[in-house]
Chains A and B, each alone.
Chain A
Amino acid sequence: MSAPNELVVRETGAAQRADLERDRPWQVVVWNDPVTLMTYVVFVFRRLFGYDRETATRLMLQVHNEGRAVVATEPRERAEVSVAQLHAHGLQATLARD
């Protein structure tokens, strides 16, 4: 059995780290603004993320009372789609590494 080539091992390690980084979940964070209606926020959370009314209302109140809430934790590409959908509905949303 031959010893593994050092360069191959290094490259494989780098590729695995890149895969891990890509697969690392990101948080979808919604921020409070003083104008958007609470009923609308609950409605959008339910529609975009499929939450039941209780969960959507809890998250909306967290945004309102604490200034922000993590509404989803997803792989980066999916999280970016979620943020774009929230932006399309006029909500203040950002992505943050988990």
Chain B
Amino acid sequence: MAQISRQGELVQLRVSRGERKALLRILERLEPLVEESRWVRPRAYEDEGLEREYERLVVGDLEQARAQDLAQVRDLLESDQRILLSTDQAMAWLRSFNVLRLALAERLGIKSDGWEDQFSPQEHRRPPLATLHLLSWVQEELVEALEQA
């Protein structure tokens, strides 16, 4: 099982080759959902004019940054290198796992708190719900490692 821990100034992810492949498959399958997700692209303003201005000035940069975050995660998983993340890199991983979770949850039809009870224990253990739990675990561990700084 993958391990995430603090190593001085860095965050270390110890993942087996199989776990790297599994995370890459998850990334590959969920990235297209990110493009369509409403939760990933919330409005900033109620006012239509201000919202259009926000979209014109800000949203393109946000999308570019999101793509860069995801690319960074993919590149490190594809490499055979030991995964040691600076704080900025770990933040990119955190943001990436968060958007992947949002996109997957939206696809699963999750709309309100207490959604866990919508699904049976068997469903929780199988994909795609098990994928959501795995992403949550990675995110929790990254937060914990970053908070130890």
Contact = CB atoms under 8 A, between A and B. Distances in A.
Interface string B81-123: 0000000000000110011011001000011111100000000
A32 interface: yes
Chain A interface size band reads: 20 to 34
Given A34-B111, A34-B115, A80-B58, A92 B95 contact: no
A2 interface: no
B39 to A, nearest CB: 6
B98 A89 contact: yes
Nearest to B41: A87
B67 interface: no
B27 interface: no
* Majority DSSP secondary structure for residues of A touching B: mixed
A90 B102 contact: yes
Given A39-B143, A40-B94, A43-B146, A90 B45 contact: no
Contacts of A35: 39, 101-102, 105, 110, 115
A93 interface: yes
A37 B99 CA distance: 12
B147 interface: yes
B99 A90 contact: yes
Contacts of A80: 44, 54, 58
B44 A88 contact: no
Interface of A: 31-37, 39-40, 43, 64, 80, 83-84, 87-90, 92-96
29 contacts: A34-B111, A34-B112, A34-B114, A35-B39, A35-B101, A35-B110, A35-B115, A36-B98, A36-B101, A37-B101, A37-B136, A37-B139, A39-B143, A43-B146, A43-B147, A64-B113, A84-B44, A87-B44, A87-B62, A88-B66, A89-B94, A89-B95, A90-B98, A90-B102, A92-B39, A93-B44, A94-B45, A94-B46, A95-B44
